[in-house]
Amino acid sequence: MLKLFEVEGYKNFKTKISLDFSNVREYKFNEECLTDGLIGKMLIYGKNSQGKTNFGKAISDVMSVLFPELASPEEGPFDKSYFNVHRKEMLASFRYIFQFEKRTVEYIYKKKDFHDYLSYEKVLLDGVPLFEYDRKSNELKYEENLKAFTPTLILNFNMVGAALRFIINNTALDDSNPLKKTSEFVSKMYMASVSNSLGKTSRGRRISLLPTLKENVEEFNEFFNDFGITENMKIIKDFDGEEKIYFDTDPPLPFLQIASSGTLALLRYLVLRKQLERGEISFLFLDEFDAFYHFELAEGIVEILKHAKSSQVILTTHNNDLCSNKYLRPDCCFTISNNKITSFADATNRELREGHNIGKLNRSGEFDD
């Protein structure tokens, strides 16, 4: 699980912006929003151009470091919009703290000049430095700690992309090792936005609809019916033996060609929920997930994703009505503005309770800076 994230010098974040997933209150409602004592389900509300999308891209940046093969071609290494243009130096700094039961991994890195070049890395296990590496000077600190951790590894990181990736890939680690767990967690992170219709993540991984639909077609049909979509789906083999999704009509109509964009996206949300339940996604960031939906359908999607266990989910929205204790809780609803991201619980001196209409309070300016 991600316990803390900080970024500085990236896109519109000139100064450090921080999100602490361990900053939870003792609310006794919507406790399913917490996972292992950390914020597991979160809604970020903000106006346009405040950094919601960029914050999601920043969190998922660690994927490009530890799993560069997941980067899509359009995310080339010379993205000039990667760095904040108001800083003198083109340098972006990232800090992650991952928590697995009682173990923690802190990973700090800096990117300079272009976004695939790591100029600095530091890793701490349970607060103790494992190594610190400055690529410019080729200086490796805490070498004795690293040698004790991986005595057979040749400690020359000058020609490798990311030192941490090199260490994980070339060291025999058991499944309980926190570095191994960090690698697995990052490999299952997922970011998508309404702009790509949830078909592909920002790192190139696609959602596979057919296998999940085959296993859950009756459940999916029931959900669609509840939201006014009266036609059911079914799986039919074409004349060439290939299975495809059809509307259960007479004659059957090809689902992917006929369904509206909203219906297609809803199906993908349902598939995402199943992937979350199976542990195939560790961290899900959905940007403006409700951009084209009626408010009742948006509420339904929140309910779908809220009950996904053992995963962290962040949704961004412009819809103030979703900022409600009915769906989440004040320590899981956030605003982002002026280079700060703040929970509703921390944005006011008022003691927020379950009966408060926090959406109304938000409209009245209660949580403004």
The helix or strand, by DSSP H or E, that contains position 246, with its residue range, turns out to be strand 243-247
Q: What percent of the chain is modeled with pLDDT above 70?
A: 92
136, part of any domain: yes
Report yes or no on 276 lying in a domain: no
Give the count of beta carbons closer than 10 Å to the beta carbon of residue 169: 12
Q: Strand, coil or helix: what is 306? A: helix
The CA-CA-CA angle for residues 34, 39, 43, to 5°, reads: 105
In a domain, 194, yes or no: no
| 3-state SS record for 11-69 | CCECCCEEEECCCCCCCCCCHHHEECCEECEEEEECCCCCCHHHHHHHHCHHHHHHCHH
pLDDT at 179: 97
What does pTM read for this prediction?
0.90
Of the listed ranges 225-229, 235-239, 317-321, the one predicted with least confidence: 225-229
- CATH number of the domain residue 121 falls in: 3.40.50.300
Report the 10 Å Cβ neighbour count for 95.
17
Question: How many CB atoms sit inside 10 A of residue 295's CB?
Answer: 11
Q: In angstroms, how far is CA 222 from the centroid of its own chain?
A: 28
Position 10 in a domain: yes
Kindly give, in sequence order, each residue whose CB lies less than 8 Å from that of residue 228, ignoring residues fewer than 6 positions away. Answer: none
pLDDT tens sequence across 138-191:
999 999 999 999 998 988 888 788 999 999 999 999 999 999 999 999 999 988
Assess if residue 47 is contained within a domain.
yes
What's the CA gap between 276 and 187, in Å, rounded?
14
354 located within any domain: yes
User: Quick check: is 48 in a domain?
Assistant: yes
Q: Which amino acid is at 237?
A: K
Q: 250 in a domain, yes or no?
A: no
Number of domains in the chain: 1
156: domain range? Answer: 2-188+282-363
**What is the per-residue pLDDT across 11-31, written as a single tens digit (0 to 9) for each?**
989 999 999 999 999 999 999
**Among the listed residues 265, 119, 284, 133, the one whose alpha carbon sits nearest the alpha carbon of residue 205:** 284
Say which amino acid occupies 208. Answer: S
Under 8 Å between Cβ of 128 and 145:
yes
